[in-house]
Amino acid sequence: MLALLLDWLAWGGPLGFLFLVFALWMLVDAIRRGEWLWAVFIFLFAPLNAPLYFFLVYRASAGAVQGFELPGARTRARIKELEDRIHHLDNARDHADLADLRFQEGKLELAEAGYRAARERDPDDLDIQAHHGQCLLRLGRPAEALPLLDHVTQTEPGHDFGHTQMALAETQTALGQTESAIATWQQVLERHTYARARVQLAELLLARNERETARSVLAEVLSDDTHAPAFQRKRERVWVQKAKPLLRQAGG
């Protein structure tokens, strides 16, 4: 291919140079996508195959991002990619990334197995430990989740913008460790204003009949919601809706 492209460059002038750049661009793109047959075709006869690759593969894939796409198509493609990588490389990060996708799909048993496999390959990764702990909690196995989440938050209290610490508080609540859960929620709220944290703290305070403190916490949830941007209101809607009857229960 190189000799042929140099010939193009010799007699084609600036156009030959532009085509050389274009052909190399298509060749590199084919290699990055794993389109090995196309890469061979481009290498052997770029004048024909580079333009064909551009219209049949490169442009078609770019259009798919902007046009119609079957629901879940990208997720399925990413799952297939990760499964292939695990087959060939078997590293912790790919197991964890696949487990994250399974978690998002609600396939918690598959996710838990993936996190376990990831931890076997990298037992010190805090992200993997935290996500595994959250998965175990959602599976109704808080006793197994507790040491993982506790270790992560002890090592890095603000891990994942406080979400790991919130999962720890929920785990402590599930295990009946009310005092520890309250302390953990309060630690979260020292750094963040999540409605998820405020509402669940208020529930525990109401259970201890601390109505005035609970009322103050819930009032903050509703006040913040009034002034929050649309994306935040949508994200925290479930907690705001839960706060309203709790506030009435607290005498607000």
Instruction: Establish if 75 belongs to a structural domain.
Output: no
Q: Please compute the mean of the pLDDT values over residues 22-32 and round it to a whole number.
A: 85
Domain termination site, one of 177, 204, 229: 177
Residue 34 has pLDDT above 70, yes or no: yes
Instruction: Establish if 214 belongs to a structural domain.
Output: yes
* CATH number of the domain to which 142 belongs: 1.25.40.10
Q: Are residues 170 and 240 in the same domain?
A: no
Q: Are residues 158 and 200 in the same domain?
A: no
Residue 66 has pLDDT above 70, yes or no: no
- What span, in angstroms and rounded, lies between the C-alpha atoms of 163 and 98? 20
Instruction: Establish if 71 belongs to a structural domain.
Output: no
Considering only residues 4 and 146, tell me which one the structure prediction assigns the higher pLDDT.
Answer: 146
Query: Could you give the number of structural domains in the chain?
Result: 3
**What residue numbers bound the domain in which 169 lies?**
82-177
Q: Please compute the mean of the pLDDT values over residues 173-177 and round it to a whole number.
A: 98
Considering only residues 93 and 231, tell me which one the structure prediction assigns the higher pLDDT.
Answer: 93
pLDDT of residue 33: 74
Q: Are residues 88 and 172 in the same domain?
A: yes
Q: Please compute the mean of the pLDDT values over residues 146-157 and round it to a whole number.
A: 97
C-alpha distances out from residue 69 to 11, 62, 73, 77, Å: 44, 12, 7, 12
pLDDT of residue 177: 98
pLDDT, mean over the chain: 87
Residue 156 has pLDDT above 60, yes or no: yes
Please state, for a pLDDT cut of 90, what percent of the chain lies above it: 62
Q: Are residues 88 and 115 in the same domain?
A: yes
- What span, in angstroms and rounded, lies between the C-alpha atoms of 87 and 211? 56
Instruction: Establish if 182 belongs to a structural domain.
Output: no
Using a 10 angstrom Cβ sphere, with 0-12 exposed, 13-18 middle and 19 or more buried, the burial of residue 87 is exposed
3-state secondary structure of 125: coil
Q: Are residues 60 and 86 in the same domain?
A: no
Q: Are residues 159 and 119 in the same domain?
A: yes
Instruction: Establish if 185 belongs to a structural domain.
Output: no
pLDDT of residue 41: 86
Instruction: Establish if 69 belongs to a structural domain.
Output: no
C-alpha distances out from residue 233 to 170, 198, 239, Å: 22, 15, 10
Domain termination site, one of 121, 143, 177: 177
What lies within 8 Å, CB to CB, of 167 at 6+ separation is 130, 133, 134, 137, 145, 149
Distance of CA 36 to the CA centre of its chain: 30
b (16+ CB within 10 A) / e for 50-72: beebbeebbeeeeeeeeeeeeee
Instruction: Establish if 242 belongs to a structural domain.
Output: yes
DSSP string of 176-232?
T-HHHHHHHHHHHHHH---HHHHHHHHHHHHHTT-HHHHHHHHHHHHHHHHHS-HHH
Q: Are residues 101 and 52 in the same domain?
A: no
Which of 9-13, 57-61, 130-134, 163-167 is the least confident region? 9-13
Q: Are residues 92 and 150 in the same domain?
A: yes
Contacts 24+ apart (CB under 8 A), 91-98: 91/121, 92/118, 92/119, 92/121, 92/122, 92/125, 92/128, 93/118, 93/122, 95/121, 96/125, 96/127, 96/128, 96/131
Q: Are residues 88 and 59 in the same domain?
A: no
Instruction: Establish if 50 belongs to a structural domain.
Output: yes
Q: How far apart are the first and last CA of the chain?
A: 78
